[in-house]
Amino acid sequence: MSRVIVTGGAGFIGSALADGLVARDYQVVIIDNLATGRVTNIQHLLGNKKIEFVRGSVTSLPMLQELFSGAKYVFHQAAISSVPRSIKNPKLSHNINITGTLNVLLAARDNGIEKVIYASSSSVYGDSPTLPKTEDMTPNPLSPYAVTKLTGEHYCGVFKGVYSLDTVCLRYFNVYGPRQDPNSQYAAVIPKFITSILAGKPPVIFGDGEQSRDFTFVRDVVEANILAAESRATGVFNIGRSERVTVNHLARVLIDLAGNATIRPVHKEPRPGDVKHSLADITRARAFGYNPRYSLEQGLKETLKTFGRS
């Protein structure tokens, strides 16, 4: 069994990734400070001999140096992953997302890690009207969060070029699925919508709802991470479904799936830092085997199951 690291492994995406890695017979070290991650996300794994959980932060370089010893891959998911939260507290986002990423790369370099797979974000593209987004487009970050993710990408590129550390940057497009926290004030749109609809309340849409997103089911993201690690891929890759969905359409699909047709969304003022449209060109990621399997409806059905509905 190869030993691998998942930073932020008690979070939404990180815990799903830990599941996928254990299923492929990896020995997984989960690092999480539980600031936004939750032990309940990995509770089912803690008795497994393939899992080691360490409560700690990527801001601690000595801890990372110790834990990375003997590992093959590092899946770096740890981050403050919220545009509104980064606007409210840019210094915190900087410390975790930039300094933390630099620490991960330093520890990976010093311990001979084979490859670092870095969780980046489609937010680096900003509000360019050009669709779909391709990796060679000039980034235009519109929030502190987007700046931190782009900075992490540049660090990954420099560590590849200067220290010959293989790195892959995966630009996630609106990931959703089971274990995504609906209770945070910074929760993503899908868990917020589901919570409201199942409670018989109207989902809140910021703006006119015609903004579009490329919603990507978390299990497809897990597959992308593992394929990126096990292949010869390096560089920057979009990870989405390559399907444009308006927020209005998303609300209608969820209302239909929940069987509560009387609910109607309500609209509020647009939020600062939000982009209007987002759509991934995934041609480059397909080259290392990435092929999203879950349609929007399939993914939403799987997500609804975890809220007590099938």
Tens-place pLDDT, residues 50-89: 999 999 999 999 999 999 999 999 999 999 988 889 999 9
CA distance 306 to 310: 8
- Is 127 in contact with 184 (CB distance < 8 Å)? no
> Out of 73, 125, 145, 155, which one is annotated catalytic?
145
The neighbour count for residue 131, using CB atoms within 10 Å, is: 15
pLDDT of residue 310: 38
Which range, of 8-17, 93-102, 259-268, averages the lowest pLDDT?
Answer: 259-268
Is 26 annotated as catalytic? no
Question: pLDDT tens-digit profile of 239-254?
Answer: 999 999 999 999 999 9
Strands 175-176 and 216-217: parallel
More confident residue, 1 or 61: 61
- The CATH homologous superfamily to which domain 3-175+216-241 belongs is NAD(P)-binding Rossmann-like Domain (3.40.50.720)
pLDDT of residue 53: 98
Token pair of 283 as six digits: 């041609």
Rounded to the nearest integer, the mean pLDDT of the chain is 94
Bridge partner list, 113 = none
Q: Given a cut of 90, is residue 261 above it in pLDDT?
A: no
Burial class (CB in 10 A: 0-12, 13-18, 19+), 73: buried
